[in-house]
Amino acid sequence: MEVIRKVSLRNFRCYDEFSLDCRRPTTLIVGENGSGKTSILEAIYLALRGKSFKGVDGEIKKRNADFYRAEIELGDARNIIIRFDGSKKSFEVDGRKSLRLAKKDKYPVVLFEPDDLYLVGSSPARRRNYFDELFKQIDNRYAVALGKYNKALKQRNDLLKNEQIGVDDLFSWNVMCANYGVEILIARKKYLEMINESLTEIYRNIAKNRDVCNLRYIGELCDENRYLGILERNFEKDRLFGYTSFGIHRDDFEFEFNGKKADGSASRGEIRSMILALKFIEAKILEGETGHPPVVLLDDIFSELDEMRQKHLVENFRDYQMIITSTAAPADLDVSKNL
């Protein structure tokens, strides 16, 4: 499916002006490291999701330029234009202008970066962010709940830094953290169960073995009353630390391999097969939940994978529009643009 037809950039990262035609199922962008390949994917992600996966607007704007502009022509004849004038960003979709990309104008994206291959051994914060971004794409209610939770958490943490604060002063923020926290917990459990339904099967198809893979949620699954009670009991400790020590913002997603923690028990190749399986499931869930086949952005992944896993990557994403960056062109892919 052709979702992206053309990308046009002006004063975007290293580009004065740039244009890329994407009118094919697979677009391969070949260039040396530092040539601006990732910036093209960043512009596409920005147009489809409303934010960058890499930096803030002041960093995106080319040095010494007054503005940046990115325009994405879509397969349904719509155009999305992003402008940044040095102080604020705006979106224009078929003549409709707004400061944020509307929910109805967003489109699902699977972004695969080299760092994703190290997700198993990364920090809990990195894993939380990874899965939160996925679940936000799947379910707008999740995005809203997480945004409100983070605002309430910030207010609670700010109050905890005041030595004169009492437990009653935190009650409204405790209630909000408990309310939205439990909503997020329930959704995380639901989507992890969806991933686990096919994680082992797809992993085995890639790795050609009989190992078992699983994702386990590390955190207390509780109702609102218990959540609220824990926050209130932790008041003195939290006031001493100056931050909230319990909650969904500290939970983790643990990869398991044959019943053990994958970080330490699985080999590098086995872990990479697990992440590939996760990415394939991510695409299927996004398509199933949103009704749209996601655009797949693969950023310099081929250099990190052996030939077998490269083949699985291309074959499993063949039904989606792929835009790939690489320092060299694999023999079985047509080159759309060289940098």
> How far from chain centre, in Å, is Cα 320?
18
Task: Please name which of 131, 160, 152 lies closest in space to residue 227, comparing C-alpha atoms.
Answer: 152
Q: What is the pLDDT of residues 29-43, one digit of tens each?
A: 999 998 999 999 999
As beta bridge partners, residue 98 has 91
pLDDT along the chain (339 residues), means of 10: 93 97 92 93 98 95 96 94 97 95 96 96 97 96 98 98 93 98 98 98 96 97 97 97 97 98 96 98 97 97 92 93 88 53
Report the distance separating Cα 67 and Cα 13, nearest Å. 11
Q: Regarding beta strands 337-338 and 252-257, do their DSSP bridges make them parallel or antiparallel, or are they unpaired?
A: unpaired
How far is the CA of 204 from the CAs of 65, 208, 261, 271, in angstroms?
A: 50, 5, 18, 12
Report the distance separating Cα 278 and Cα 120, nearest Å. 11
Report the distance separating Cα 334 and Cα 30, nearest Å. 11
pTM (global) more than 0.75: yes
Q: What pLDDT, on the 0 to 100 scale, is given for residue 1?
A: 66
**Sign, Cα dihedral of 108, 90, 42, 143:** negative
Q: What pLDDT, on the 0 to 100 scale, is given for residue 2?
A: 84
Instruction: Give the 3-state secondary structure of residue 73.
Output: strand
* Residue type at position 38: T
Q: What is the DSSP string of 218-268?
A: ES----HHHHHHHHHHTHHHHHHHTS--SSGGG-EEEEEETTEEHHHHS-H
> How far from chain centre, in Å, is Cα 219?
21
Q: Where are the domains of the chain?
A: 1-107+302-339
Report the distance separating Cα 61 and Cα 242, nearest Å. 37
Q: What is the pLDDT of residues 135-171, one digit of tens each?
A: 999 999 999 999 999 999 999 999 999 989 999 999 9
Q: What pLDDT, on the 0 to 100 scale, is given for residue 92?
A: 97
Pick the CATH number of 1-107+302-339 from 3.40.50.300, 3.40.50.410, 3.40.50.2000, 3.30.470.10: 3.40.50.300
Where do we find the tokens 């400061």? 99
